[in-house]
Amino acid sequence: MSKTALITGASKGIGKELAYIFAMKGHNLVLVARSADELGRIKVEIEETYAVSVINVVADLSDAAAAQALYNEVKEKVGDIDYLVNNAGFGDYGAFVDADWDCYERMIALNVTTLTHLTHLYVKDWKGRKAGKILNVSSTAAFQPGPMMAVYFATKSFVLHLSEAVGEELKKDNITVTALCPGPTSTHFGEVSKMSASQLVKNVQIADAKEVAELGYRAMMKGKPVVIHGTMNRLAPVAIRFLPRKWVTRLSAKIMMQ
């Protein structure tokens, strides 16, 4: 019997690549994004290529009530799901004081509140049946403060720590939570966040979204708590543990500045 994956932020980048990977593996899909046109094209292509069904939900998940509304709609249209991929998120590059509060409010709502609420809703569903897998897309930003992207880095740290803690709690229930931590990746994110202006993006190799998605899928299916894409990205979190916190912040600031 085919299983079903719910993927947020599925119209572009890592989310889109994950949709194709799940479909290739024979899983039905519920794809969520704001762009009806992009979702429509993906649905047609996947259903013409793979023997799976695709349900699209057009929604802005930065709304406070979005998670419950999405959960209710999916319950009505599809019933139970087996895999949850919390991929939707965005960032903004610039000094903390210069951004409008509305930007941060939407960022926290999407990157933190909606992700946490969806995770909570589905693990409550799965606890009785002792099955279910979650992939939360965090970032290598989770491992240190990020001057010039302070709120974004903080949200991704929250995602990482939440995923690790909840995953540990749910081991006995055979439910796994995986945090995927990519570095700069070839997605629409860089354009939206204006992150391409930073030295971080100018001086590193940009990862391929498909490669990151494949790594995340494999880790999710194995139930790994955390997976970091890229050799240098895996070394950095280990190295900074041995440095004073103020040094880490200053180094991060130097990398993030234009």
Active site residues: 152, 156
Residue 243: how many other CB atoms lie within 10 Å: 13
Query: Strands 28-33 and 83-86: what pairing?
Result: unpaired
CB-count exposure of residue 205 (10 Å: 0-12, 13-18, 19+): exposed
- Return the HEC string of 195-213: HHHCHHHHCCCCECHHHHH
For residue 9, give both structure tokens: 């932020």
How far apart CA 156 and CA 162 sit, in angstroms, is 10
For residue 13, give both structure tokens: 């980048």
The angle subtended at Cα 224 by Cα 227 and Cα 26, nearest 5°, is: 95
Cβ partners under 8 Å of residue 10, min gap 6? 16, 18, 19, 29, 31, 32, 33, 39, 42, 87
The angle subtended at Cα 163 by Cα 157 and Cα 165, nearest 5°, is: 100
